Structure 1
Amino acid sequence: MKDHEEWDRSLNDIPTHHCRSVGCQRPEKGLDLGWSCPKIDIDSGGLLFQWRASEHYKVEETLRSLHGEGSGERTPFDYFHINSVDKDENGRHLISSRYLNTVTCIESTGEVCWTLGGKRNEFADLSNGTATSFKWQHPARWRGENTVSVFDNQAYDRASADADRSRGMLIHVRPDEKTATLLQSFPNPRGILSLSQGSMQLLPSGNVLLGWGLAPGFTEYSSTGEVLCDAHFGAFAMRNMGWVTSYRVFKAAWVGRPRTRPEIRLTFGKQKKKTAFVSWNGATQISFWRLESTEKQHAAEDNEFVHVQTVPKKGFEGSLPLPAECSDFVRVAALDSEHKVLGYTDLVNQHNGILVSLAYTQ
């Protein structure tokens, strides 16, 4: 059996959607979806711990309407809906219930320590109601002993919205005094009201990154709340149609080394001036582009190429004018900051723009 301390450390690495749901029968009310959070030994498959929402929260505490559910085994009523579980160094779990609009802290024994938000909110709000007014929220995370972050959707549908935009929140709670204070809020700068999904990440730099879930975009803020980057990867006008979504957005250090080659295309301008355009989608280490030429269509060795010119990489696509003295065939090398070659484009005939690799197949 895996050591419990080792398991506790690895528990936070498990995606929260691995928390499973179990159908529980409620004869007097039909069927509901009783959510549970199990802790399982990976090696043996044994159940080490399990917390059941139905043992602590009543169906009547939900803020979600029936939506025609609860009448049969195939349509149990989802009244609680766990969408995140986090654990701190003291063994306390933080559970987010989207449909109760609550964040619950439980001990390692399963005992409920406190409930923040929703109908059972236990905390006096010292921030004029802004610390406990989150609704339909997503990931709740520990950010210190008594500080939590929450992605506040503020809406399940348009009719349920009490605000005009979603936000990220940092909330400080004092369990002994039963008070809650909003430390900081990060509202969407364009008025996006995300009806589902979403995430909030605190970066090592102190910046904060919010992913807008159903609305396909993300925003990075400074520690003081200044918008540093606001981007979307789907049409803004279709932000709540669900055609393009991203459940959560994370920023991390990584290196992109595509398995494909850099792409090259030639254009022919006035007075027969030619330009090579080059790009390598996904490559993150490029600092320079180097144009090379050769007289041989089947050149394979580096010593068969002449270095024509090198230009810094300034954007997604680079451009290199072809001097008149270029030989018949050209290619471009992608270079890193130390001018080491990361990859080559295909060879291209500079007279007609045909890629040599394509010419072989014709």
Structure 2
Amino acid sequence: MTQRPTRILVDLDAITHNLGAIRKRVGVPVMGIVKAEAYGHGLVPVARHMQAQGVDQLGVAFLEEGIALREAGIHLPILVLGGIFGPQAAELIANDLEVTVSSLDKLRQVEAAAQSLGRKATVHLKVDTGMERIGVHSYSCGPFIEAAVASQWCTVKGIYSHLACADDPASPMTAAQVERFAEACSHFDRLGVPMPLRHLANSGGVLHFPETWLDMVRPGIVLYGVLPDPDSERTLDLRPAMSVVSQVVYFKVVRAGRPVSYGATWAPDTDTRVVTVPIGYGDGWPRSLSSCGQVLIHGRRYPVAGRICMDQFMVDIGGDSAWNEDEVVLVGASGGDAIRVEEVARAAGTIPYEILTRLNARIPRSYCGGDSPTGV
């Protein structure tokens, strides 16, 4: 191998398995969320694979992500979930992207863009039931829904909201949001028009709250085999799709009391063997794992020694042996042990979403399974 020894390996068959498990559990159409480079797994390769697996729809955060998928030949319906600026409306419509309309003002901007292009926009109405992020408040959304239904240039395909606490099965917040969303949807009955596609469930909703499944679900992180939170219940048989691996590039003996890495924050009590691994916070590997993270070498766990650097970090292997080019597993399996993303997030003091999405393009990705060629 001549490319960088640090790499991300994505198992597309694991994504296939997870999608099948979700479908079996919920029994309704699935919008596969592929924003943020498909949670670090690779936007275009994952979207192509999901399309091949017959996922019903895709969801992205931004206009640019939707355009990238269209340019890659993705023909599925794609909903842009994020808030939009008025000038983006025409590009959304021109690229056949479904638009989140989150206010009466945004509705008017989309209408104007659609009229200027001479083609209708497909929109999903965003109702705020408790996130206080984007969307019209559920208690005042009547005029907004009425205007959208009456629009000559917008076709209302869906109405949705986002669950704030569904990762926690014990939180009472989800029940309140379900009730508020139902009240918002009742305006369609009041107006005597057909109910559009209702979607509410994110990954937490899929795992814990069947009452949120409605007409479609929007799983994100569980598609990739990762639980959204340590408190989440494992109600799905999930297979992690990502492994993060590197190789030993240096070996040395460090004498007792000699500090390792920046800040001299860690030193061994006795003479020990230390290896260097070529990945750091410049790749998105959390600096907060300094002196508390672990890796697998030859199927055994070893601790990170000292602070993680921008491009490298060191590992204390004690009296054991490791040679240059030996594999180092940061996420994934080695021997009879495995390190999961959830475990890494807990050690880093963050959430699994951040661990996945901060892994940047400096790390090459390769793919196995499905119909995808190996490598990108």
Structure 2 length-normalised TM: 0.27
Q: Report the structure, 1 or 2, having the larger helix content.
A: 2
Q: Greater relative contact order: 1 or 2 (C-alpha under 8 angstroms, separation 6 or more)?
A: 2
Q: Report the structure, 1 or 2, having the larger strand content.
A: 1
In terms of Rg, which structure is larger? 1
Structure 1 length-normalised TM: 0.27
